[in-house]
Amino acid sequence: MVAMKKKSVALAVSLMISMVQVLGGGVQPSKMTPAVYVFGDSTLDVGNNNHLPGKDVPRANKPYYGIDSPGSKPTGRFSNGFNAADYVAKNLGFDKSPPAYLVLKARSYLVPAALLMGVSYASAGAGILDSTNAGRNIPLSKQVIYFNSTKAEMVAKAGSGAVSDLLAKSFFLFGVGSNDMFAFAAAQQKLNRSATPDEVKAFYTSLISNYSAAITELYGLGARKMGIINVGPVGCVPSVRVANATGGCNDGMNQLAAGFDAALRTHMSGLAARLPGLAYSIADSYALTQVTFANPLAAGYANADSACCGGGRLGAEAPCQRGAPLCGDRDRFVFWDSVHPSQQSNKLGAKAYFDGPAQFTTPINFKQLANYKS
């Protein structure tokens, strides 16, 4: 049995070396966690959507996306370079985010990556609810299903004991919910009215129920360390601001996001009390973004309301694509396109969540979470 396990590990290492060569890029041995598993939306997607069928699937597979990435090529990230998942992984000791699940499946490298680095299941357009942008992404529930099948393949190669130990020490990163907010707001706008308090309450209940189910299922599969990036002030992205004559934020959408964040914070506290060994950190994207908006210059930004890449007013009236106006200094813009943060925003955000001011993480930061021993 021992000989078989050694053989499996040796095979995994060999395949991993091949995978790195094929995918391009190195992998640094992590000093803080053996692997990272990523679940979420376009803020964390590293290429899954490039492999989904359908003309309406959101993809970042054309210039100017990736203009600041190694090779200056689109990678499937909705950024000018690295995204939040990359910088969280970097802070944990890796070279970048683990590769996309669908890429690994297509190239038969899923198991070695899962064992030695992790896997990203994140999908642009995904929501906590299956109904959000249905048919055009991998919703959170399906991402968890994909992880379940990944684990089964890992166990077949390395054994249940080794995999259980690996998962208990690994970092599970989440960033999802914004698309649900956009979809809910759009539905109300279509009805030409505001949601009633009961409708908002029911919306939150559905979101928390689905999010809780995903986290609880992953816990049952062996996950113990959950890093959760909450929903930021979605009413302040350029695509929403441009609908306002003054270019100001949509306070109603921000209140919707803030209310969900409060409900999530309360629920996670109760969930941790019921699931022995579960440790978590909620990264407060909402608070960090609000602080940044209050004094952009202090954070090194010259512009906090417009897209760096796009067209028209606030860079939000035309898509980010080849030939679109492009800002000169991309590190000086909070937003890359009409919805997504710039590489610099991702970098500063991940740093704040890792070991920044205590106000941006609760109850512990990402660094403490990675080092947590139950």
What residues are annotated to the active site?
42, 337, 340
What is the b/e burial string over 35-54, where b = at least 16 CB atoms within 10 angstroms of the residue's CB? bbbbbbbbbbbbbbbbbbee
Q: Tell me, what amino acid is at 300?
A: G
Handedness of CA 352, 358, 363, 366 (dihedral sign): positive
Say how many C-beta atoms besides its own lie within 10 A of residue 28's C-beta: 13
Cis peptide before 353 (omega within 30 of 0): no
Residue 47 CA to residue 123 CA, distance in Å, equals: 8
Give Cα 292 distance to the centre of its chain.
Answer: 20
Tell me phi and psi for residue 15, to 5 degrees: -65, -35
Handedness of CA 69, 70, 74, 77 (dihedral sign): negative
